[in-house]
Structure 1
Amino acid sequence: MDIGVSVGPYVDRIDALPDSFSFVELAIGEGERPLAVVDADQLADDLTAHGFGAVVHLPYRQPLATPVERIDMATQEYLAEVLETAAAIDATTAVAHPRTRGVGDDTLIQRMTQLSDRGAANDITVCFETLGYAGGLSLDRVGAAAAKADAAICLDVGYAYLEAGTDGIASFIASYGDLVEHLHVHGARHRGDTHISVGSGDVDYSSIGPLLHDVAPTTATIEVFTDNATYLTASAERFEAVYAEPGESTTDTEST
């Protein structure tokens, strides 16, 4: 599994990132880093110069599925532009929020399928994120919708733990683990703190790590909201330590 780090829209932070990470997750598009100011060629050069691959987080403020098909189709067309930009920086994974407004899951599944197909046309796997704790669909609803849409999942470990605990994550993995291609990894506390250093919150990574190892996702992003390289590196090391199989050293699994 490759481990990367999120910088959100702050692409200027790439130069200061530890070279132990395999990729950078970037937030591109409306509300984050507008396409009009994204120089894909320069961004690709910067990533390559530091030996980083790329994952792109798609815009998430506009719901993916609404009662108005014309709005949904405009959203799809815009996200297609973002995916084309993602392809131009050689991203192979994109994260999307399966948000809805005023419609049932049938419409959402259609929109997820359409977006997945648009990603595939650019050789990008679109992973739909679990955000129940943050006001999104519950774990089970995301899993069921992704299964029906034949789509991939981004399991946000911190949010999933606050939503359903270790047992809930285990149940989710038992049902939908084969769809989990990407992880968001961060510490969190029940009092509401999220995206803090791994190991500094309530998330029981020592119990969750072996469950994730069995899933064997392709990539994991350290989604800790800081530009402090020490905290980012320590979070990755702590996650690697609990992700390793029993008796397996972290250096055996290290891919960063």
Structure 2
Amino acid sequence: MDIGVSVGPYVDRIDELPGSFSFVEVAIGEGERPVSALDPAALSERLTTRGFGATVHLPYRQPLATTVERIDSATLEYFDTLLAAAAAMGADTAVAHPRSRGSGRDHLADRMGSVVDRAEEHGVTVCFETVGHAGGVALEQVGELAAEAGAAVCLDVGYAYLEAGTEGTTAFLDSYGDIVDHLHVHGARHRRDTHIPVGSGDVDYATLGPALADAAPTTATVEVFTDDPGYLTSSAERFTAALDGVSPEDEYP
């Protein structure tokens, strides 16, 4: 499993990242790194110079499915533009949120399938993220929808834990681990702290680690909201140890 790190839309942080990571996840599109500010060739060169691969996160808040066909068609074309930029950056994975606004379940599955088809044309795998804790589609439904759409899943371990606990997250992996291709890893607390260093908070990575290892996703992104490289590196180390069921000896406060 390759371990990367998220910089969100802040591409200037690429130059400050520890060289131990395999790739960088960049947030692109509305509300993140807008298309007008994207220079895929320059980003690709910047990443390659540091020895990093690329993954992208598509717009967080953009609904894929609505009750208006013209909006859905425009959204698909917009995502196509972003996926083309992702491919030009050298990314082979794109994370998307399976959001809908007023549409039914079947329509959302259809829209997800359309995004998958466009992504395949660009040589990119779309992974739909489990963000039920943040107000998105419930954990189990993400698995069902992704399976129906022929899509992969990005399991956000912190969000899944807060939504369903250790037992629920393990059950999700039992049911859908074969389509979990990407992970977001971070610490979280029931008091609603998220994206804190792995090893802090309440997520039982030592118990979840072997189940995550069995699912064998291709990649995992350390999604910790800090520009302190020490926390990023130690989060990756603690996560890697947890895959073998090792509980960190030193806990964050």
Report the TM range for the smaller structure's normalisation.
over 0.9
What RMSD, in angstroms, separates the aligned Cα atoms of the two structures? Answer: 0.9
1:245 to partner: Cα distance: 6.5
Q: 1:1-256, aligned counterparts within 5 Å?
A: 1-244=1-244
**Structure 2: gaps of 5 or more residues:** 247-253
> Which one-letter code corresponds to 1:157 in the other structure?
V
Q: Answer yes or no: is the 8 Å Cα contact 1:58–1:82 preserved in 2.
A: yes
SS at match of 1:92: strand
1:38 to partner: Cα distance: 1.1
* Percent of matched pairs sharing the same residue: 67
**Structure 1: gaps of 5 or more residues:** 247-256
Cα-to-partner distance string for 1:52-99 (whole Å, 9 max, x where unaligned): 000000012221111111101100100100000000011000000000
Please give the alpha-carbon distance, in whole angstroms, between the structure 1 residues aligned to 2:122 and 2:106: 25
Q: Answer yes or no: is the 8 Å Cα contact 1:158–1:194 preserved in 2.
A: yes
Which consecutive segments of 4 or more residues in structure 1 shift more than 6 A? none
Q: Answer yes or no: is the 8 Å Cα contact 1:213–1:245 preserved in 2.
A: no
Please give the alpha-carbon distance, in whole angstroms, between the structure 1 residues aligned to 2:45 and 2:197: 29
> Which one-letter code corresponds to 1:71 in the other structure?
I
Please give the alpha-carbon distance, in whole angstroms, between the structure 2 residues aligned to 1:61 and 1:173: 26
TM-score (norm 1): 0.95
> Which one-letter code corresponds to 1:41 in the other structure?
A
1:156 to partner: Cα distance: 0.2
SS at match of 1:217: coil
1:133 to partner: Cα distance: 0.5
TM-score (norm 2): 0.96
Q: Answer yes or no: is the 8 Å Cα contact 2:29–2:59 preserved in 1.
A: yes
SS at match of 1:93: strand
